[in-house]
Every structure is written in C-alpha cells, then in structure tokens.
Chain A
Amino acid sequence: MRRKKGIAARYDRYGYFFIAPFALIFLMLQLFPILYTLFLGFTDYKGLSTNFSMVGLENFYSVVNDVSIPGFAEDDAWAVVDQLYDELRIDADAEEGDEGFTLLIFNVKKRNLAAVETLLADYDIDAETIKAGLNPIKGGLLYDTFFWKAFRNNWIIWSMNFVPQIVIALLIAVLFTDLRLKLKAGSLLKPLFYLPNVLNTASVAVLFATLFYWPVGPINQFLSQSHLLSESINFYRSAGWTRGIVAFIQFWMWYGSTMIIFIAGISGISPSLYEAAYVDGANFKQMFFRITLPLLKPVALYIMVTSMIGGMQMFDIPYLLTNRRGDPDGSIMTTPVYIYIQAFTNANNYSYASAVSFGLFLLTLLLSIFVFALLRDTSEIKTVKPRGKML
C-alpha cells in the first residue's frame, strides 16, 4: 500500500478501533464455533462426557471389522470375551457351534487390530486365522444411508418448491412490469404476496400442522363441505402429502420475495430496449424470451443459489410439522433435522453431528459452484450479492 502523508495517515489507525468490536465478536462467536465444529467432527465427543480423543476421519469414513474365530474351548472363549472388554473396551461374544465355541468380536477398528492379535496370540491364534475370520463393515458419513436419504429429502422438497416458485414469481414480475398492461395496485398487492415471509417458521409449522389436521382440520372440512371428497385425507400419514405440504409452505413463504427481486431485476433493464422492440413489432412472447429472460440471468442465478443454500438448511418446518423425527417414513427428515437428532436427542453424538454438518456444507458448496459454472455465460457476469440473513 502506498504510504499517504500528513493528517490522513495519522487518522488511518482509527480504522482498527472502528472494526475492533465486530472483529472480536466475529472471531469468537462465529468463526471460532465453525472451526470448532469442524474440529469436533474429527473426535469421538459424545454424550455427557467432557473428554474426548481424536479419531481422524472415522466419522466421515471408516471400516470396522467383525471377527469370528471358531474352535475355542468354552472357558477360553469367555475368558477372551472378558479380556477384550477389560483391556481394549471391545465388545465380543461366544457362540456354541459344531467344533467347540466360536468367538465373535464386534466393531474392531483398524488401529485396534494389532492389539487384538497380541491378545489372541496367548491362545495360540495366529494372525492368519484372524485375517480369515475378518468381516469388514463400512461406516461413517460416506456409507450412512440415513444421511444420504436426508440429503435426498432436502433436494426433493427444495425442487418441489423451487420450480413453481420461480415460475409464478417470474410471471407476476413480468405482468407487473409490462409497459402495455400498466397494471395498478402494486403497492397493495406486493406486500400481500410478501407477507408470509415475515411470519416465523415455528408458528407457520404449527399452523399448517393444525390446518391439515386429520380428520377435522380446516382443509379436510373444506374438501368435504365442497363435496370434493367423501372421506377425509390423513395427510401426515402419507410421505407424498407430507413432503408436498412442506414444499408448499416453502413456496408460500418465498415466492413473494423472489417476485420482488425479479421486479427489481426487470426494472434495471433499460426501457429503451422494450420500446425499440415494440416499435419493431415484437410481441409479448418475443420480448420475454429475447430481452427479459437473457438479461435476468444473473438475478436468476442469485435467486437459485441463495434459495438452494436455504433449502439445504431447512429445519424448523420439517422438524415441527410432524413428530420431530421427520416422519412419516422419514420423508421430511432433512439433513438439519438429522443433525439435530444426532446431537440433541438420546445419544448426544456431537462429533458425528459435526461431521454431518460439514458434509452438508461441502455438498452445498460443490452444488453452488456447479450451478454457477452451469448458468454463467461467456459474456461478462457481475458478482451476485447474497441475500444474507434473510434466508
């Protein structure tokens, strides 16, 4: 940096004082917790215990082995079982078979294998025999079917809401900004479209749980009073309906916001373009596809990325709408709900929940980059301003 002379340079050190409170809180209460969470993802921190140790990548990817070794005498087998637990904290069992007892050892991690071998050497079992009895089981985030199912749920619900959301928001925005139609009442209607966005998600979840209540919630009452259905629908017993309701709530809360951003984007397009097209006899359709849509691309990209990040963080509504476990059939157990269940119920598996948090973050990041690369055209593209806290 070029040095400035005189008064200005002397004042510049004040810059540090002005940003100091922000920097302090930012580092302590935002950046540090994130790094700390990442760190916990590499530990075995669980339950009420306060101490934990590093386990490397185990929460993300691990291979544990079940080992079965036949041909033990009964006393020997039970002695080994006790010894394994006392010395190595490894669970084991013994089972009577054709040729004496079979020793079953569970969840042996790779780093413990050597210790098991040493222990079994006292009983004349060599490494080869152990190797023959190994039955590897893959574990960790990468092989966690619940995690992938939860991540898939995020995607399904987000897509179900995003497609209609962007179509309807764009339609409203185009109608509002159309020079020929000159529609009025925008100052009354825009706030109404936006209204659901300011309601708190917890209340909205409770509200929709009650509206779709079976058998006598207002939706079911409406369906039977208007003779659309003879029998009421138990919405929250069906995976499809439940997902649909979550997606609808997301749509309901966000289409107004998306519409306003689209209107701002369209208003930023020079009116002379439309006037010229109008003079040249272009119709509504041509103007939309040749002018509006291509020039809205950066705005659409911004909406898509922020909405996607929001969709991957979906918690309040899927958590509170049904039984707080994302049922029926885990159909609305989104990844954040899964994280919550892991960390703050029964087992308090904080380390694994931390790993899931980071897995979700990495996947979201990759997808955002992918979307950017996909939609970014060769012409210049301006930086997209994030929607920030409004997610």
Chain B
Amino acid sequence: MNTTKSRAIKTNVQRLIAYLFFFFMATLSIVPIWIMLVNASRSTEQIQQGISFLPSVYLLENWKILTGRGFQISQGFLNSAIIALSSTLLTVYFSAMTAYGFHVYDFRGKKPLFALILGMIMIPPQLGLIGFYRLMGQLHLLDSFIPLILPAIAAPSTVFFIRQYLRATFQKELVESARIDGSSEFGTFNRIIIPIISPSLATMGIFAFVGSWNNFITPYILISDKKKYTLTMLVQLLRTDIYKTEFGGIYLGIAVCIVPILIFFAFMSRYIIAGVALGGLKE
C-alpha cells in the first residue's frame, strides 16, 4: 500500500520534470520567432533600448522603411507564390502518374529504372548545380521561372512515397472493370486513381510547397532581375548595406517572409508531422 503510494508520487514528480523540460524546449522553439514578430511592430529606437515581448505601434512606419528601399514585397510574394504553386501541382500530378506507371504496368526495364530513382533520392540536389547553371545559360533560361518550376516534374522521393501508398490501397479489379467499361488508361488514372490516392498527394504536396517556397540557392544563382526576386531572395537583401541598422524594417522583412509559412503550418501541421513520421518508418 505504502509502496504503491510512493510510486505514484514518484511518477508524478517525473511527470512534472518532463513537462518542465517540454516547456523549456517549446519556449526555445518559439522565442526567436516571437521576438521577431514583436520587433516587427516596434521602432528601431525601441528595439535598441531593450527586449519586449509585447508588440508596439510602429508597424506602418517599419513598412514604409522596408518598402522604401527596394524591397518589393507584393512582387516577391507573387513570384514565390507562382513558383511554389506551379511546382507543387507539377510534383504531385506527375509523381502520381509515374508511381502509377511503375505500380500497375509490367514493362521492360522497370526494375533498374526504379532502382535508379531510389538511388537518386540519396544524392543531394546541389551536386549538379554548376552543370545546371551552365545548361540554363546555354538555353537562355537564366532570369526565367522555368528552371525553378520545371524540375519539379521529376521528384524521386515523392514518386517513392506515392508508390508505397499505392501498394497499400490499389486494387487491380478497379482498373480492369474500368477497362471493360471502355475507359482509356489516362482517363482511369485521372478520374478513378487520383481521388483514391489523394491523401498521399496532399501530404506530398505540402512538403513540395514548403520546399519550393523556402528554396534559396537555386533562384539566388539563376535570377538577377530584381522584378523576378522571390521572397527568400528579398530577405537576403536585409543583410546588405541597404538596411544597415534599420532593425524595425529588417524584422518586418523577415516576418513578411515567414508569416505565410506560419499560417500554412498552423493548418497543416498535423499532416506535416504524419508525413515526417512516415519518412522514418522502416519499409
């Protein structure tokens, strides 16, 4: 009786320590972001005087400082949105198509081709950057969105995940009865298969979107026309002499770049975390 009681107390103490530890780590995650959001609304003078965890009223003035020095937010936002949305659509649709092709049909060379795709997942995309840069130069595609969007068609890891999903959900009878009803192969894929595998497409779409939105090095190397800057490229301007110590403007600039992704995350975090967990599971 006494031992169970002391054991319960011990468990409760351990629980408390665990929660304190969690609280500390959660604070660590949030504080830098919180300070940034708060400082985006404080004047540079206030920021230099000390830390505050409460917002102030200088948002509009910071906005003027930020946009007054060539930080074309709406243009950058639009560019990022165009690139991220088109990349996501291409990645999701063509990866589904490729995964379906590999899963349903038996064709010559299927196995080595799939092995090649698997191998490519482990190869960092930066490896071919200089070749890619020169190739795009020769094709006169520097300063164009095409090299930032088109490669999204071939996303090996997404193909792999969707194929895993197909393995679990796909029924051959469905395709066979569609054939008997006179549906074309692409018609079957578009009308019957896509709706069935849409949960996996949503998960992969979220990752594709975040990845494209956050991409820095590719646009940084390929784009030089300021009108075509993406948000991540604009944000690096905040580290240049243009802004020096205009802290209010700098924090607001970072906030503008991060807030859309924060909102996106607020709605999608459940799916993102489920997707990350999937990635680590053994086959």
Contacts and interface: CB of A to CB of B under 8 A. Distances in A.
Contact of A389 (B11, B211, B264, B278): B211
B29 interface: yes
B50 A207 contact: no
Contacts of B63: none
Nearest to B100: A18
A195 B280 contact: no
Interface in A347-375: 350, 353-354, 357-358, 361, 364, 368
A315 B150 CA distance: 23
Interface string A315-358: 11000100000000000000010011001100000100110011
Given A203-B235, A261-B279, A315-B217, A357 B98 contact: no
A388 B50 contact: no
Interface string B239-281: 1000000010011011001100100110001101100111111
Interface stretch (B54-62, B64-72, B119-127): B119-127
B94 A21 contact: yes
Contacts of B98: 18-19, 21-22
Give the one of A26, A39, A315 with max B CB within 10 A: A26
Interface string A232-259: 0000000000000000000010011100
Interface in B218-239: 221, 231-233, 235-236, 238-239
B216 interface: yes
A198 B50 contact: no
A206 B32 contact: no
A25 B128 CA distance: 14
B173 interface: no
A183 interface: yes
A279 interface: no
B26 interface: yes
Given A40-B130, A194-B272, A25 B110 contact: no
B254 A390 contact: no
B114 to A, nearest CB: 9
Contacts of A172: 21-22, 25
Given A203-B254, A357-B126, A391-B124, A22 B33 contact: no
A312 B127 CA distance: 11
How big is chain A's contact interface, by range? Answer: 35 or more
Contact of B135 (A8, A12, A32, A189): A32
Contacts of B26: 189, 192-193
Contacts of A286: none
A343 B130 contact: yes
A257 B39 CA distance: 28
Contacts, number: 313
A339 B131 CA distance: 13
B82 interface: no
B134 A36 contact: yes
A361 B14 contact: no
Nearest to B261: A198
A18 B15 contact: no
Interface in A96-144: none
A221 interface: yes
A386 B122 contact: yes
A348 to B, nearest CB: 10
B213 A200 contact: yes
A194 B130 contact: no
A320 B18 contact: no
A37 B232 contact: no
A301 B32 CA distance: 31
A191 B258 contact: no
B217 A316 contact: yes
Contacts of B153: 21-22, 25
B157 A389 contact: yes
Interface in A134-186: 168, 171-172, 175, 180-181, 183, 185
B121 A388 contact: yes
A313 interface: yes
B88 to A, nearest CB: 12
A29 B258 contact: no
Give the one of A37, A339, A364 with max B CB within 10 A: A37
B1 interface: no
Given A198-B272, A206-B235, A19 B22 contact: no
A60 to B, nearest CB: 15
Nearest to B39: A218
B128 A34 contact: yes
A128 to B, nearest CB: 43
Contacts of A4: 106
A29 B90 CA distance: 14
B153 to A, nearest CB: 4
B50 to A, nearest CB: 5
29 contacts: A11-B185, A14-B105, A19-B97, A32-B128, A39-B131, A175-B18, A183-B15, A183-B18, A185-B19, A189-B26, A192-B30, A194-B269, A194-B276, A195-B265, A196-B29, A196-B32, A198-B210, A202-B236, A203-B258, A206-B235, A206-B253, A211-B35, A264-B277, A264-B278, A303-B280, A320-B236, A344-B221, A357-B127, A385-B283
Nearest 4 Cβ contacts at the A-B interface: A18-B101, A388-B157, A15-B105, A261-B280
